[in-house]
Amino acid sequence: MKTIRQLLASKSRLLVAVKPDDAVFHALQVMADHNVGSVLVLESGKLVGIVTERDYARKVILHGKASKDIPVREIMSDRVLYVTPEQTVDECMAIMTEMHFRHLPVMADDQVVGIVSIGDVVKETISHQQFVIEQMEKYITG
């Protein structure tokens, strides 16, 4: 099974991020512009949180608040669980499944080096399973 480092190598290197004092509306615009479901929250280059579409739905819309009036820091998750490049895709899948997360930052040497989504992890898992099946078929028929 691939490592997170190998998975990141096949993805865009662009980190999509906002600042804690940015309006939630701005964070939503950034997500829409990049076709992603979450953005990292960085302050002076350091990861201080993550905000997702789910955060917006549960902490803004359901409370009747306006996204242009609320800073990201009010709805972001500031206790961010992350993975490292050395961890495997299987380990990442286990964390995401157990914690019900759809996005996990990847950290190395106290710096964000990427982000993985549940879609990235599922796609890689399916690819690995297809490879194993093909190898088994070759062994059986060979």
pLDDT tens per residue, range 101-112: 999 999 999 999
C-alpha–C-alpha distance, residues 20 and 67, integer Å: 14
β-bridge pairing 103-108 and 46-52 = unpaired
pLDDT of 11 reads 85
Q: Which of 134, 128, 111 is nearest to 3 (CA)?
A: 128
CATH fold label, 4-141: CBS-domain (3.10.580)
Report, as an integer, the average pLDDT of 9-37: 93
| pLDDT attached to residue 41 | 98
Neighbours of 103 (CB within 10 A): 21
Torsion of CA 126, 112, 70, 34, to 10 degrees: -50
Q: Which two tokens stand for residue 132?
A: 């194993």
pLDDT tens digits, one per residue of 45-70: 999 999 999 999 999 888 888 888 89
What does pTM read for this prediction?
0.86
User: What interhelical angle do 89-99 and 118-141 show, nearest 10?
Assistant: 130
| Dist CA 124 CA 142 (whole Å) | 26
Strand-pairing partners, residue 107, are 112
